[in-house]
Amino acid sequence: MNRLFSRQLIIESIASDLFELASGKITEYGSIDHIQELERMENELRSLKGSMQRGPDRLTLRKEKATLQRAIESIRYLKTKAERAGKSKGLLKT
C-alpha cells in the first residue's frame, strides 16, 4: 500500500507544472497568480515601450521598440496558453 501511495505521489508531482513568480512564490502553471504575473510583465513592457515613444531619441530607438513589441506578443501568447491550461485543469472559471 505504501509503495502504491509513493508511486501515485511521484506521478502527481511530475504531472503538475510549477511556475516561480518574480516574488519567489511558487504557483501552479495556469493558476490565477500565474496569469496575473504574465499580465504584470506585459504591462511593464508596454510601459517601457511607451516611454521610448517620447523624447528626442524616439526615432533612434525604432528597433528596440520592435523588439519589445515582439516580447509583448510572446507574453500574450504564453498567457493565452496558460489560460487554456488553467481552464482544462479547473484552476480558472470558464
Residues in the chain, total: 94
Residue 8 has pLDDT above 80, yes or no: no
* pTM beyond 0.75: yes
69 and 59 in contact (C-beta within 8 Å)?
Answer: no
Burial letters 29-57, b for 16+ CB under 10 A, else e = ebbebbbebbeebbeebeeebeebeeeee
The listed range with the strongest mean pLDDT (3-12, 14-23, 33-42, 53-62) is: 33-42
What number is the average pLDDT over the span 19-37? 89
Helix (H) or strand (E) holding 39: helix 32-52
State pLDDT tens for residues 29-88. Answer: 889 999 999 999 999 999 999 998 888 888 899 999 999 999 999 999 999 999 998 998
Query: What SS3 state is found at 28?
Result: strand
